[in-house]
Structure 1
Amino acid sequence: MNAQMSKTLGNKNPLEIYFGCENITNDFQKDAIIASEAPFGQYFDASLIWGSITGRMFYAGLRYRIK
């Protein structure tokens, strides 16, 4: 689950301030690749990734538009 909020300031050359969060619930797959220590082994499988492999991430920034 992700969310982002933004606020636009000004009319002629608007400045936009935004912030957000990705993976709000912090739910992730701990071992993304099965048997990664043996890439030529019988049980190696990189196709079983069912979810995010990174945890919660916050971000913020500015956007300036020139018309």
Structure 2
Amino acid sequence: MPMDLKVGDIVELKKQHPCGSNHFEIIRTGADFRIKCTGCERQLWIARPNLERRIKKVTSKSE
């Protein structure tokens, strides 16, 4: 069953982004996710199964 992730959620991933941050904001959901690094503001596309496997925890939920 897919995780309940919504636009605006902040997730902590297991591995760091090259800028040093491991917190990302979800910008778009679906089969592919668009996430934005909170450190350097770079955006990237990632498939749902890959993102769900890499999530360490959801640090803040959007309302």
- Which structure shows the bigger proportion of residues in strand conformation? 2
Give the TM-score category using the shorter length.
under 0.3
TM-score normalised by the chain length of structure 1: 0.16
TM-score w.r.t. the length of structure 2 is 0.17
Q: Decide which structure has greater helix share.
A: 2
* Larger gyration radius, structure 1 or structure 2: 1
